[in-house]
Structure 1
Amino acid sequence: MLSVSKVSSESVEIVHSIQKKSFESLLNKYRDYETNPAMESIDKVLEKMEKSNTTSYIFQLNNVSVGWVRVTELEGKIFKISALCVLPEYWNRGIAQKAMTMIEGYHSDAAKWVLSTILQEKGNCHLYEKLGYIQKKEEILIINENMTLVFYEKIK
């Protein structure tokens, strides 16, 4: 059974490990050393977790920590999803989709959700589109010759 719960900065070692393992294959594929979450130090992850407008959630499957995400509340009840990740050995089990649905429910007052993902990762794009996110075609960020970030939003 999947559970999604708030996690404090005391769990930074666990979430840092999940993040590194989850983003490692993308780092190897795209070599985006400046932007890939696998490159973030534990101190950087801690700094992001401790921001006053940020809530971190950990995903547990049968009491095993398998993923995590940061949710940042921006102005006007806009919530930003960052570093959504699931350990590779738990991919393709619907964990990210279920977790996102639960987290959106925790913030039922949200006016809009925003996030970015890699255009070339069709599975990621499909996940967000399945959850009702719309790609903002006019907004892209070219990271390198192999990788482009695209931006999504979901208006409630």
Structure 2
Amino acid sequence: MLKVRQISSDFADIVHNIQKKSFEPLLNKYHDYDINPAMESVEQIREKIDRANTTAYIFELNDIYVGWVRVTELEDITYKISALCVLPGYQNRGIAQEALKQIESYHSNAQKWTLDTIFQEKGNCHLYEKLGYVKVGELEQINERMVIVKYMKICKA
């Protein structure tokens, strides 16, 4: 069973390792050196976890840390999902889907959820759309290989 639990910046070293391993294949594919989370240092991750209105969660499967995500509360009871990642060896097992469902339940007051992902990564887009997220806004061209798409999910009152 997947456990999704809140963590503090004391976990920065652990999540840095997860994030680096999870995002390096995308970095190698898209060469998005300025924005790819694999390029973040432990200190940058620690600072992001410690930001006001931010909650970090680690995903644990059979006593192994397999992923993590940051959730930031914005204005108007809107939450932004950032740096959602699952280790490559654990991808395509429904972990991200289950983790997002649990996290959304922890923030049952949410009126809206937002996130960005890579438009070319059809598996990511499918995951978010399956969970009720819809594409919004303009696509953002990062480089000749990669475009960012924004998603939003409106919650029932």
Using the size of structure 2 for normalisation, the TM-score is 0.98
The residue that corresponds to 2:152 in the other structure is 153
Query: Where do 4+ consecutive residues of structure 1 move more than 2 Å?
Result: none
User: Structure 2: how far apart are the matches of 1:143 and 1:45?
Assistant: 22
SS in 2 for 1:144: coil
Question: Is 1:139 the counterpart of 2:124 in the alignment?
Answer: no
1:36 aligned partner? 36
Q: In 1, Cα distance between the equivalents of 2:96 and 2:138? A: 24
SS of equivalent to 2:135: strand
Q: Give the superposition deviation at 1:52.
A: 1.4
* 1:21 equivalent in structure 2: 21
What SS is found at the alignment partner of 1:79? strand
Aligned length: 155
Which amino acid is 1:11 matched to? Answer: F
SS at match of 1:22: helix
Which residue is equivalent to 2:86?
86
Deviation per CA, 1:86-131: give whole Å up to 9, x if none: 0000011000000000000000000000000000000000000000
Q: Structure 1 residue 61: deviation in Å?
A: 0.2
| Counterpart-to-counterpart distance in 2, 1:8 and 1:149 | 28
Structure 2: tracts of 5 or more residues without a match: none
What is the one-letter code of the residue matched to 1:72?
A: T
Distance 1:53 1:66 in 2: 24
Quote the Cα distance in structure 1 between the aligned partners of 2:84 and 2:74. Answer: 17
Residue pairs, 1:114-133, within 5 angstroms: 114-133=114-133
Alignment partners' CA distance in 1, 2:94 and 2:152:
20
Cα RMSD after superposing both structures: 0.5
CA distance in 1, matches of 2:126, 2:105: 20
| Structure 2 Cα separation of the partners of residues 105 and 6 of structure 1 | 13
Whichever residue aligns with residue 43 of structure 1, its letter is E
Deviation per residue, 1:134-156 (Å, 9 max, x gap): 011x3221100110000000000
